[in-house]
Amino acid sequence: MLNTNLIRKKRDGGILDSDEWQFLINSYCTGDVTDAQMAAMAMAICINGLTPDEISSLTCEMLASGTRLPRVSDRPRVDKHSTGGLGDKVSLILAPLIACVGCDVPMISGRGLGRTGGTLDKLEAIEGYRASMSIDESSKILKEVGAFIIGADEQIAPADRRLYALRDVTATVESVGLITASILSKKLAASLDALVMDVKVGSGGFMHTRDDAKELAESLVRVGGQSGLPTHAILSDMDQPLGVEASAAIGNAIEVNEAMEVMKQSDASGGENPLLDLTVALSASAVMQAGVFEDLKTADEQLREKLASGHVMERFEQMIRAQGGRLSGPIPLEQRRDYFAETDGCVAKINCPAIGDAIIASGGGRRSGGETLNHRVGIQTHVRIGDVVEKGQLLFSIFDDSDSIASSVQKSPEPWVTMADSPVPANKLILETIP
């Protein structure tokens, strides 16, 4: 087989068979397929797409490029993965929550990508926290605590690690086939019994339309199932940052603080708390697939009970300690400045791209790989789409000692919070579940 022939075939809209995918990925790992050739292939895939069989083959080969984590107990092994969005700190609560109902959660997470924050960056706001460790060490933590949150190292789907870095700098991230194979190769490497995907829809995530999000969700569910990993997906709102009742935190330390607030509260009945409600819905889907509860209603009740009991916060602290972190209350933030409504009205839009860019501009996110972050900068939005607001009401707060977020607010071509004169319906939190 010739590398260039495979690229040519995909460029011209052809379909590669499983042997050809095996050859391509093996050769990429040995260096016989160069980064330049793989970048050309990624672009051909972005333009011409992959068939479901091709996505399965690519997933399988990327998985086979590394090892699988060993099973360490008889407990069901489940996980959740999100396509990423502004203020999405669900993983911080979900991992200890699911561990508290008797499952193992070996969570392999990522860093911030574009405007969407990364779970590892958030956790590294905690002094001493280590996201990188050997398989032996992480297995020990899983056995003792029931959950860990680490980064993928060279042993987990290394072909994806290389390809992902290449896609990031060649405008080839946005492909349903490549995203499916990238996510599932890492999740399959964690030897899971069940997976739930949170596919975000809206301006604060990757997938801006419901149709695009649904296509990705269906691909993940189909390829996960074909690869022996039962997978469900929830499509959830990302036209506004995700948070608690009165506010949504965006940034690293501030999101850890908000997640801890949820784990400390003694009322977990939800209803008006999107972060709590989405976390419970995703957790219930994961544990139901693993057969822990008989029906979703029981799962929902039991999970909320665990949250209200304080055990989830204890388990979170245990996991953080096991990973080297030192937590003593909320993490200090930079100086706070508040912004108020200049008119009465109803909230019609929250400018997620501008908020995400302001976090990056102030050092809370990365412009290029390897940059060191300022974990203590953050933003809090205090209104949601559909809220009726009076002149002078608090809209958002920024936490930043330099003037960089404040200057982003001033320079933004569109306001961060757009007000309408007439009523605007609130967004639904969960748009659809698949299947």
Binding site for ligand URA (CB under 6 A): 110, 164, 173, 178-179, 182-183
| 384 among known catalytic residues | no
**Sheet containing strand 378-381, strands side by side:** 248-251, 378-381, 394-399, 336-340
CB of 174 to ligand URA, least distance (A): 9
CB of 182 to ligand URA, least distance (A): 3
| 160 among known catalytic residues | yes
The contacts of residue 148 (CB under 8 Å, 6+ apart) are 95, 105, 106, 107, 138, 141, 142, 319, 322, 323
Residue 199: how many CB atoms within 10 A of its CB? 31
Spell out the SS3 assignment of 155-207. CCCHHHHHHHHHHHCCCCCCCHHHHHHHHHHHHHHCCCCEEEEEEEECCCECE
CB of 180 to ligand URA, least distance (A): 8
Kindly name the residue from 81, 232, 315, 376 that is annotated as catalytic.
81
CB of 152 to ligand URA, least distance (A): 8
CB of 74 to ligand URA, least distance (A): 29
Nearer residue to ligand URA within complex by CB, 166 or 173: 173
Size (the chain), residues: 435
The contacts of residue 95 (CB under 8 Å, 6+ apart) are 105, 107, 147, 148, 149, 316, 319
**Element spanning 91, H or E:** helix 90-100
CA atoms of 364 and 28, how far apart (whole Å):
34
CA atoms of 279 and 273, how far apart (whole Å):
10
CB of 267 to ligand URA, least distance (A): 34
Kindly name the residue from 79, 88, 104, 160 that is annotated as catalytic.
160
171: exposed, middle or buried (Cβ count in 10 Å: 0-12, 13-18, 19+):
exposed
Nearer residue to ligand URA within complex by CB, 203 or 247: 203
Nearer residue to ligand URA within complex by CB, 180 or 285: 180
Nearer residue to ligand URA within complex by CB, 46 or 78: 46
The contacts of residue 238 (CB under 8 Å, 6+ apart) are 85, 86, 88, 200, 201, 202, 203, 204, 205, 352
CB of 178 to ligand URA, least distance (A): 6
Nearer residue to ligand URA within complex by CB, 45 or 268: 45
Spell out the SS3 assignment of 237-262. ECCCCCCCCCCEEEECHHHHHHHHHH
Query: What is the dihedral sign for C-alpha 8, 13, 18, 22?
Result: positive
| 182 among known catalytic residues | yes
CB of 79 to ligand URA, least distance (A): 13
Kindly name the residue from 109, 139, 182, 285 that is annotated as catalytic.
182
| 382 among known catalytic residues | no
Nearer residue to ligand URA within complex by CB, 148 or 416: 148
CA atoms of 306 and 103, how far apart (whole Å):
13
Measured at the CA of 307, the angle between CA 305 and CA 311, to 5 degrees, comes to 105
Pick from 149, 139, 151, 97: which is nearest to 309 by CA? 97
Q: Looking at the annotation, which residues are catalytic?
A: 81, 160, 167, 182, 186
